[in-house]
Amino acid sequence: MAPAGGKHLVLASGSPRRLALLQQVGIEPARLLPADIDETPERAEHPRSLAKRLCKEKAEAAALTLRRIGEAEGAYVLAADTVVSVGRRIMPKAELIEDAVANLRTLSGRTHRVYTGVCLVTPEGRVRQRLVETRVRFKRLSRQDIDGYMASGEWRGKAGSYAIQGLAGGFVVRLVGSYTNVVGLPLYEALSLLTGEGFDPARARGDVEEPA
């Protein structure tokens, strides 16, 4: 339950990775409120535009839910969406092994881009966004590499069919940009959005006592 009347953070995501990243910097969201939206790209939609659109839709959907249940007071709603692409081609979040294998074969030996859109809805209803881009180059993946990764199950439901913080970290030859962006939540940009809109991370860490 969110604290009554005080400023608090609602993470519009059920992603364990995004939660862990916030916890890494000492922030514990008051609640998790995943937004169920259609993530299908629009026709000819650029990967950058998709990441920005989906994070905004997720944040606004969660904010609307909070208003409907009467828990919007003091709530900062944070959402993110990560898209992996090769050129303009968007790599799907695979649920089937054959799709995941196809993704990894496409990424093998090539540089791809990871875009994460971050959106914040403030208690006053302001909408703020950031888009972060990271370039990642994979080594040339052998059949053994791909088969082993499929067996791990780490690929399931992940953008690009891999999780850089797991076994796929061994595939990375070069990374230019934010590592936490590839994990799923660029921390610098997320914290900048929060602090720029008056949210105090120290209070979320419990470092600052609420006034009596």
Is 8-204 a CATH 3.40.50.10490 domain?
Answer: no
Q: Tell me the pLDDT of the chain averaged across its residues.
A: 91
Alpha-carbon gap, residue 9 to 198, rounded angstroms: 12
- Reduce the DSSP state of residue 1 to 3 states and report it: coil
Q: Per-residue pLDDT tens for 159-191?
A: 999 999 999 999 999 999 999 999 999 999 999
Beta strands in 29-122 (DSSP E): 31-32, 75-86, 89-91, 111-121
Q: Per-residue pLDDT tens for 9-39?
A: 999 999 999 999 999 999 999 999 998 899 9
For the cut 60, the answer to whether the pLDDT of residue 150 exceeds it is: yes
Residues tagged active-site: 81
Gyration radius (Cα) of the chain, Å: 18
Q: How many helices (H) and strands (E) does the chain have?
A: 7, 7
Report residue 92: phi and psi, to 5°.
-70, 160
52: tokens are: 């920005």
In this prediction the pTM is 0.90
